[in-house]
Amino acid sequence: MAKIIGGLTTSHVPAIGGAIARGSQQDAYWKPFFDGFLPVRAWLDEVKPDVAVLFHNDHGLNFFLDKMPTFAVGAAPEYSNADEGWGIPTLPPFQGIPELSWHIIEHLVDKEFDVTTCQEMLIDHAVTLPLKLFWPEGTCPVQIVPVCINTVQFPLPSAKRCLALGKAVGEAISSWQGAQRVIVIGSGGLSHQLDGTRAGFINKPFDLKFMDSLVSEPEWATQFTIPELVEKTGTQGIELLMWLATRGAVPGRVRKVHANYHIPISNTAAGMMALEPI
Protein backbone atom coordinates (compact mmCIF):
# COMPACT_ATOMS: atom_id res chain seq x y z
CA MET A 1 0.00 0.00 0.00
CA ALA A 2 1.14 3.57 -0.68
CA LYS A 3 2.17 5.60 2.36
CA ILE A 4 1.60 9.31 3.01
CA ILE A 5 4.85 10.50 4.54
CA GLY A 6 3.86 14.12 5.13
CA GLY A 7 2.59 17.43 3.88
CA LEU A 8 4.47 20.45 2.56
CA THR A 9 3.02 23.90 1.99
CA THR A 10 4.54 26.98 0.43
CA SER A 11 3.70 30.31 -1.15
CA HIS A 12 4.32 30.49 -4.90
CA VAL A 13 5.13 34.14 -5.70
CA PRO A 14 6.32 34.17 -9.35
CA ALA A 15 9.29 36.42 -8.48
CA ILE A 16 10.78 33.35 -6.71
CA GLY A 17 11.25 31.82 -10.16
CA GLY A 18 13.19 34.90 -11.28
CA ALA A 19 15.37 34.75 -8.17
CA ILE A 20 16.15 31.06 -8.83
CA ALA A 21 16.99 31.81 -12.48
CA ARG A 22 19.33 34.67 -11.48
CA GLY A 23 20.90 32.72 -8.60
CA SER A 24 19.87 35.46 -6.12
CA GLN A 25 19.04 33.06 -3.26
CA GLN A 26 21.69 34.55 -0.97
CA ASP A 27 20.87 38.22 -1.67
CA ALA A 28 19.67 40.07 1.45
CA TYR A 29 16.11 40.29 0.11
CA TRP A 30 15.83 36.56 -0.65
CA LYS A 31 18.01 34.83 1.97
CA PRO A 32 15.40 34.72 4.80
CA PHE A 33 12.99 33.13 2.35
CA PHE A 34 15.25 30.55 0.68
CA ASP A 35 17.07 29.57 3.89
CA GLY A 36 13.73 28.47 5.32
CA PHE A 37 13.77 25.53 2.88
CA LEU A 38 17.13 24.07 3.94
CA PRO A 39 15.89 21.96 6.92
CA VAL A 40 12.98 20.67 4.84
CA ARG A 41 15.26 19.63 2.00
CA ALA A 42 17.41 17.71 4.50
CA TRP A 43 14.24 16.01 5.80
CA LEU A 44 13.15 15.15 2.24
CA ASP A 45 16.56 13.56 1.62
CA GLU A 46 15.78 11.23 4.53
CA VAL A 47 12.12 10.41 3.84
CA LYS A 48 12.57 10.21 0.04
CA PRO A 49 9.07 10.52 -1.46
CA ASP A 50 8.41 8.97 -4.88
CA VAL A 51 5.22 10.89 -5.67
CA ALA A 52 3.85 14.36 -4.90
CA VAL A 53 0.11 15.02 -4.92
CA LEU A 54 0.00 18.77 -5.33
CA PHE A 55 -2.97 21.04 -4.50
CA HIS A 56 -2.73 24.30 -6.41
CA ASN A 57 -4.78 26.94 -8.14
CA ASP A 58 -4.57 27.51 -11.86
CA HIS A 59 -3.96 31.20 -12.66
CA GLY A 60 -5.74 31.36 -16.03
CA LEU A 61 -3.53 28.89 -17.90
CA ASN A 62 -5.88 25.90 -18.26
CA PHE A 63 -9.14 27.44 -17.11
CA PHE A 64 -10.21 30.99 -17.76
CA LEU A 65 -13.26 32.86 -16.52
CA ASP A 66 -15.47 31.29 -19.21
CA LYS A 67 -14.92 27.71 -17.94
CA MET A 68 -13.94 27.18 -14.34
CA PRO A 69 -14.05 23.77 -12.64
CA THR A 70 -14.26 23.92 -8.85
CA PHE A 71 -11.98 20.90 -8.53
CA ALA A 72 -9.87 19.40 -11.35
CA VAL A 73 -7.45 16.47 -11.18
CA GLY A 74 -4.59 15.91 -13.61
CA ALA A 75 -4.40 12.42 -15.13
CA ALA A 76 -1.65 13.02 -17.69
CA PRO A 77 1.57 11.07 -18.28
CA GLU A 78 3.46 14.36 -18.21
CA TYR A 79 2.77 18.01 -17.48
CA SER A 80 4.29 20.78 -19.56
CA ASN A 81 5.18 24.06 -17.97
CA ALA A 82 3.87 27.20 -19.61
CA ASP A 83 3.56 30.30 -17.51
CA GLU A 84 1.20 33.19 -17.96
CA GLY A 85 3.70 35.95 -18.56
CA TRP A 86 5.78 36.47 -15.41
CA GLY A 87 8.99 35.93 -17.36
CA ILE A 88 10.13 32.85 -15.44
CA PRO A 89 12.22 30.44 -17.54
CA THR A 90 10.08 27.52 -18.75
CA LEU A 91 11.07 24.17 -17.24
CA PRO A 92 11.09 20.74 -18.95
CA PRO A 93 7.92 18.65 -18.47
CA PHE A 94 7.23 16.97 -15.11
CA GLN A 95 6.32 13.28 -14.97
CA GLY A 96 2.79 12.18 -14.05
CA ILE A 97 1.46 8.89 -12.69
CA PRO A 98 -1.89 8.43 -14.46
CA GLU A 99 -2.77 5.16 -12.66
CA LEU A 100 -2.68 6.92 -9.28
CA SER A 101 -4.49 9.95 -10.71
CA TRP A 102 -7.36 7.74 -11.86
CA HIS A 103 -7.46 5.93 -8.53
CA ILE A 104 -7.77 9.31 -6.77
CA ILE A 105 -10.43 10.48 -9.27
CA GLU A 106 -12.49 7.31 -8.80
CA HIS A 107 -12.34 7.62 -5.02
CA LEU A 108 -13.28 11.32 -5.13
CA VAL A 109 -16.29 10.74 -7.37
CA ASP A 110 -17.33 7.83 -5.15
CA LYS A 111 -17.19 10.26 -2.20
CA GLU A 112 -19.40 12.73 -4.15
CA PHE A 113 -16.68 15.18 -5.21
CA ASP A 114 -17.60 15.66 -8.86
CA VAL A 115 -14.19 16.57 -10.25
CA THR A 116 -13.11 17.56 -13.75
CA THR A 117 -10.66 14.99 -15.12
CA CYS A 118 -7.76 16.39 -17.14
CA GLN A 119 -5.81 14.00 -19.35
CA GLU A 120 -3.90 17.08 -20.48
CA MET A 121 -2.98 19.85 -18.04
CA LEU A 122 -0.46 22.66 -18.38
CA ILE A 123 1.25 23.74 -15.19
CA ASP A 124 2.11 27.28 -14.12
CA HIS A 125 4.20 28.75 -11.31
CA ALA A 126 1.84 27.28 -8.71
CA VAL A 127 3.14 23.79 -9.57
CA THR A 128 6.70 24.43 -10.75
CA LEU A 129 7.86 26.74 -7.94
CA PRO A 130 7.11 24.38 -5.02
CA LEU A 131 8.83 21.54 -6.89
CA LYS A 132 11.89 23.75 -7.56
CA LEU A 133 11.94 25.00 -3.97
CA PHE A 134 11.80 21.55 -2.41
CA TRP A 135 14.01 19.83 -5.04
CA PRO A 136 16.25 22.54 -6.53
CA GLU A 137 18.88 20.24 -8.04
CA GLY A 138 18.57 18.44 -11.36
CA THR A 139 15.51 16.56 -12.55
CA CYS A 140 12.54 16.52 -10.18
CA PRO A 141 12.70 13.13 -8.35
CA VAL A 142 8.93 12.78 -7.81
CA GLN A 143 6.08 11.93 -10.17
CA ILE A 144 3.17 14.32 -9.69
CA VAL A 145 -0.61 14.35 -9.44
CA PRO A 146 -1.77 17.99 -9.69
CA VAL A 147 -5.12 18.73 -8.02
CA CYS A 148 -6.54 22.11 -8.87
CA ILE A 149 -8.90 24.09 -6.61
CA ASN A 150 -10.62 27.18 -8.00
CA THR A 151 -9.62 30.34 -6.12
CA VAL A 152 -10.01 32.64 -9.10
CA GLN A 153 -13.68 32.84 -10.11
CA PHE A 154 -16.51 33.04 -7.56
CA PRO A 155 -18.17 30.99 -6.17
CA LEU A 156 -15.22 29.27 -4.46
CA PRO A 157 -15.45 26.01 -2.50
CA SER A 158 -15.66 26.56 1.27
CA ALA A 159 -12.77 25.94 3.66
CA LYS A 160 -14.77 23.02 5.08
CA ARG A 161 -15.18 21.52 1.63
CA CYS A 162 -11.46 21.87 0.84
CA LEU A 163 -10.48 20.18 4.11
CA ALA A 164 -12.90 17.36 3.24
CA LEU A 165 -11.48 17.14 -0.30
CA GLY A 166 -8.02 16.75 1.21
CA LYS A 167 -9.26 13.99 3.53
CA ALA A 168 -10.76 12.13 0.58
CA VAL A 169 -7.54 12.48 -1.43
CA GLY A 170 -5.62 11.16 1.59
CA GLU A 171 -7.93 8.12 1.83
CA ALA A 172 -7.44 7.48 -1.88
CA ILE A 173 -3.65 7.61 -1.59
CA SER A 174 -3.63 5.31 1.45
CA SER A 175 -5.77 2.75 -0.38
CA TRP A 176 -3.55 2.78 -3.50
CA GLN A 177 -2.02 -0.64 -4.09
CA GLY A 178 1.35 0.77 -5.17
CA ALA A 179 4.29 0.85 -2.76
CA GLN A 180 5.04 4.54 -3.34
CA ARG A 181 5.93 7.01 -0.63
CA VAL A 182 3.69 10.00 -1.19
CA ILE A 183 4.16 13.60 -0.11
CA VAL A 184 1.21 16.00 -0.32
CA ILE A 185 1.98 19.59 -1.30
CA GLY A 186 -0.19 22.72 -0.94
CA SER A 187 0.83 25.69 -3.08
CA GLY A 188 -0.38 29.26 -2.49
CA GLY A 189 -1.01 31.94 0.13
CA LEU A 190 -0.43 33.15 2.66
CA SER A 191 -2.10 36.56 3.06
CA HIS A 192 -1.81 38.69 -0.06
CA GLN A 193 -3.79 40.98 -2.28
CA LEU A 194 -2.34 41.94 -5.64
CA ASP A 195 -4.79 44.60 -6.78
CA GLY A 196 -7.44 47.12 -5.74
CA THR A 197 -7.38 49.55 -2.83
CA ARG A 198 -6.06 46.86 -0.46
CA ALA A 199 -3.11 45.88 -2.72
CA GLY A 200 -0.23 44.83 -0.47
CA PHE A 201 -2.55 43.78 2.37
CA ILE A 202 -0.86 41.30 4.73
CA ASN A 203 -2.28 39.89 7.99
CA LYS A 204 0.57 38.38 10.00
CA PRO A 205 -1.44 37.54 13.16
CA PHE A 206 -4.00 35.64 11.12
CA ASP A 207 -1.33 33.79 9.08
CA LEU A 208 0.55 32.67 12.19
CA LYS A 209 -2.65 31.51 13.89
CA PHE A 210 -3.63 29.65 10.73
CA MET A 211 -0.24 27.91 10.53
CA ASP A 212 -0.50 26.83 14.18
CA SER A 213 -4.06 25.61 13.64
CA LEU A 214 -2.94 23.18 10.94
CA VAL A 215 -0.96 21.30 13.58
CA SER A 216 -3.25 21.57 16.60
CA GLU A 217 -6.76 22.12 15.24
CA PRO A 218 -7.14 21.62 11.45
CA GLU A 219 -10.86 22.53 11.53
CA TRP A 220 -10.15 26.02 12.95
CA ALA A 221 -10.24 27.83 9.58
CA THR A 222 -13.50 26.13 8.58
CA GLN A 223 -15.42 28.46 10.94
CA PHE A 224 -14.90 31.25 8.38
CA THR A 225 -16.87 31.82 5.17
CA ILE A 226 -14.99 32.54 1.94
CA PRO A 227 -15.84 36.31 2.12
CA GLU A 228 -14.55 36.34 5.72
CA LEU A 229 -11.33 34.61 4.67
CA VAL A 230 -10.89 37.09 1.80
CA GLU A 231 -11.41 39.94 4.25
CA LYS A 232 -8.82 38.46 6.63
CA THR A 233 -6.20 37.36 4.08
CA GLY A 234 -6.77 39.32 0.85
CA THR A 235 -8.23 38.34 -2.51
CA GLN A 236 -5.30 36.04 -3.34
CA GLY A 237 -4.68 35.06 0.29
CA ILE A 238 -7.63 32.73 -0.21
CA GLU A 239 -5.05 30.40 -1.80
CA LEU A 240 -4.64 29.18 1.81
CA LEU A 241 -7.36 26.68 0.82
CA MET A 242 -4.49 24.59 -0.64
CA TRP A 243 -2.89 24.41 2.81
CA LEU A 244 -6.17 23.19 4.31
CA ALA A 245 -6.59 20.50 1.65
CA THR A 246 -3.01 19.38 2.26
CA ARG A 247 -3.58 19.12 6.00
CA GLY A 248 -6.77 17.17 5.33
CA ALA A 249 -4.83 14.64 3.27
CA VAL A 250 -2.27 13.86 5.99
CA PRO A 251 -3.93 11.29 8.26
CA GLY A 252 -4.28 11.67 12.03
CA ARG A 253 -2.21 13.93 14.23
CA VAL A 254 0.87 15.62 12.84
CA ARG A 255 4.13 17.10 14.04
CA LYS A 256 5.73 20.20 12.56
CA VAL A 257 9.04 19.26 10.93
CA HIS A 258 9.83 22.88 10.15
CA ALA A 259 8.11 26.17 9.29
CA ASN A 260 9.16 29.57 8.01
CA TYR A 261 7.28 32.85 7.64
CA HIS A 262 8.79 35.88 5.98
CA ILE A 263 7.16 39.17 4.90
CA PRO A 264 6.99 40.41 2.32
CA ILE A 265 8.07 38.67 -0.85
CA SER A 266 6.56 40.81 -3.58
CA ASN A 267 3.14 41.70 -2.11
CA THR A 268 2.84 38.38 -0.31
CA ALA A 269 3.35 36.85 3.12
CA ALA A 270 5.62 33.94 2.22
CA GLY A 271 4.88 30.96 4.44
CA MET A 272 6.23 27.43 4.36
CA MET A 273 5.53 24.37 6.49
CA ALA A 274 6.45 20.70 6.59
CA LEU A 275 4.26 18.31 8.59
CA GLU A 276 4.56 14.59 9.22
CA PRO A 277 2.11 12.12 10.74
CA ILE A 278 2.86 10.96 14.32
Looking at the Cβ atoms of 216 and 266, the one nearer to ligand DHB is 266
Separation CA 111–CA 185 (nearest Å): 21
Is residue 187 within 8 A of residue 126, CB to CB? The reply is yes
Q: Which residues bind ligand DHB (CB under 6 A)?
A: 12-15, 59, 192, 194, 236, 239, 266-268
Nearest to 261 by CA among 276, 248, 247, 272: 272
Query: What is the closest distance, in whole angstroms, from the C-beta atom of residue 269 to ligand DHB in the complex?
Result: 9
The least distance separating ligand DHB from the CB of residue 174, rounded to whole angstroms, comes to 30
- The question of whether 262 is a catalytic residue gets the answer no
User: Which CB, 33 or 176, lies closer to ligand DHB?
Assistant: 33
Contact 75, 102 (CB under 8 A): yes
Specify whether 192 is catalytic: yes
Q: How far is the CB of 15 from ligand DHB (least distance, A)?
A: 6
CA distance linking residue 53 with residue 249, whole number of Å: 10
Active-site annotation holder among 107, 192, 258, 262: 192
Q: CB 247 → ligand DHB: shortest distance, Å?
A: 19
For ligand DHB, the closer of residues 203 and 268 by Cβ is 268
CA distance 102 to 271: 31
CA torsion 223-227-231-236 (nearest 10°) is 110
Task: Name the residue nearer to ligand DHB (CB basis): 203 or 236.
Answer: 236
Q: What does the chain come to in residues?
A: 278
Enumerate the active-site residues.
125, 192
